[in-house]
Structure 1
Amino acid sequence: FQQSLVAQSKSVAPLELGFSEVKRVVLPNGKTKVRYQQTHLGLPVFDTSVVATLSKNQPTQVFGSMAQGISGDLSSIAPKLNQEQAIEAALSAHRTFTVGKKSIENKNAKLMVRLDENQVAQVVYLVDFFIASSMPERP
């Protein structure tokens, strides 16, 4: 973990295995806790995070989960769909379960890497949107 952070800090291009700082908290005892999101060639890896305890800016304790072997599963991180197509596919899938036209707001799609049920890496979009109605939804 520490070697990866050092290599990442010296690189101008995204590394195959990287970590992006998500949150930093300084505790009353002076120690710092930092949460990192794992990345693969700059893309966040879904459902992975590492928390490091820093003392004098050096990790002393590290805990969390990370994915390994991603590069063996992915020949490219180029998506087959663009962001708009991914959102439309999600909306279309949601419409098959609902009746009537509803107001859809705040559509978002984030390109990520995730491991499927067989632990094989895939490039996917994490899509979310808000449906404003008498019973609001955020599928």
Structure 2
Amino acid sequence: MLKALRYFWKEQPIALSVFVLALVLLVFFGVRFVDRFLYFHDPAHRNQALEPWMTPRYVGMSYELPREVIFDVMGIGDTEGRRVHVGEIAARMGISLNELEARVRKAKVEFIEQQKQQQPPKPPKPPKPPKPAAERKGP
């Protein structure tokens, strides 16, 4: 294998460099994805009480709400989303973190209801076929 790497480095250094860079990026983002996936699938990290250090994105992931819903509840724009923390948002709105958390929870309930209304109704189950005459009990 080392011989093959030397060959590719000698014959195609740019292609090998691009390949190695792509491999490093793949591993980096793959590990990051798995880390966040496992973190937010732990029940201890769902629907957490709001803390001043949290970002709107963190709150959205914890409460499983889309970005638009969180930004609407917190009254912020797309440009502010990464630079501001929940404590600053609550202070700007003139409310406590508990009040902001209540608004987020209410938005989650409304979002779930909206999702239920948008889903088509499930088709009814077909009736069970009648039992054969040999299995029936009676006169």
Q: TM-score, normalised by structure 2?
A: 0.23
Q: TM-score, normalised by structure 1?
A: 0.23
Which structure: greater helix fraction? Answer: 2
> Rg: which structure is higher?
2
